[in-house]
Amino acid sequence: MANNFLTPSVIARQALANLYETTVMSQLVYRDYEEEFVSRIGDTITIRKPAVFDAKDFDRSAGIEIQNAVEGSIPITLDRFADVSFAVTAEELTLDIVDFNAQLLAPACEAIAQKIDRDLLSLRSDITQQVGLDEETNEAFRYANPRVAIAARRVLNQRNVPATDRYIVVGPEQEALWLSDDLFNRADARGDTEGLREANLGRRVFGFDSYQTQNIKEPEFQASDPAGTQLPDHEIGVAFHRTAFALVTRPLVLPQGAANAHVESYRGFGIRVVMDYDITHKQDIVSIDTLYGVKTLDPQRAVLITTGNTKTKA
């Protein structure tokens, strides 16, 4: 049965579900932050960092040594404001939510989700550790394959990065190379959300859950070595621990004077839908937005991976 009218609350609930299901990077990074109230761009959230302890030799005569359980914290500024606004006719607003979602809402939320993922991937510029290049020529390995994850694992192990919650995210070129390898001949896709199921390459590889995103493109991002020299243009994937990067999202407050608006939140994601009427063109405007911030927490917990386009440069 068709809805008599698609209200902002109905649209917001479906939009939030779409956003949650289509993100990749945002499902893999650190999301543990203080429940501070913010409502506008430029506000700051405090991210909690786990407490650090030292294991002491127990001396029975002296007894135990009490250590202060002090959590560290890092501020993150909500400086990203993603918006998709579009016009709809009266006929479109009387569509069933399934039809409205397929025609308009899902593409709008997909655009927001991809922007969030691209902003998270931009944090690769903070990372100097790199594997997958020939040390003498700086060229990608001629026959690159997912075994480059072994080198990434070595780097993270040397940095004492926890073995759990490790991920590898690669681009389309890298995925094509990896899927042609025997490691992926018997892929068994799995994941917690639709977006992750679609992006999952199907295997846990040398201690990493592996994913693909089209937001890693060549040469959209160019890495540099520790000396600051730019490396050749290849797809630059990333292997990382969840605590290497952080994402904080917050819904914006309802605007003053906007009676037709709604805010929806779920599992750290927040989205706002505002509807208004354009009298000049006699159509409704649907505006969907979200407020968020991204930050590198520890660049030592991530390593760049170059295994994509292996063409020799002239």
Domain range list for the chain: 8-120+246-294, 122-245+298-306
- Does the pLDDT of residue 30 top 80, yes or no? yes
Q: Quick one: CA dihedral 148, 149, 154, 155, positive or negative?
A: positive
Is the distance from CB of 22 to CB of 109 less than 8 angstroms? yes
Q: Judge whether residue 212 has pLDDT over 70.
A: yes
Q: Residue 206 and residue 163: Cα distance in Å, rounded?
A: 10
Tokens representing residue 29 in the block: 């990074």
Which residue would you say has higher pLDDT here, 301 or 181? 301
Work out the average pLDDT over 224-240. 71
Averaged over 182-188, what is the pLDDT? 53
Decide if pLDDT at 311 tops 60.
no
- The arrangement of secondary structure in 122-245+298-306, i.e. its CATH architecture, is 2-Layer Sandwich (3.30)
pLDDT tens by residue, 121-144: 999 999 989 888 655 445 545 445
What is the mean predicted confidence (pLDDT) over 80-108? 81
Name all contacts of 278-281 with Cβ < 8 Å and 24+ positions apart: 278/87, 281/87
Residue 199 pLDDT greater than 60, yes or no: no
Residue 167's identity, in one-letter code, is: Y
Rounded mean pLDDT, 4-15: 77
Q: 190 pLDDT exceeds 60?
A: no
- Average confidence (pLDDT) over 267-276: 81
Residue 304 has pLDDT above 80, yes or no: yes
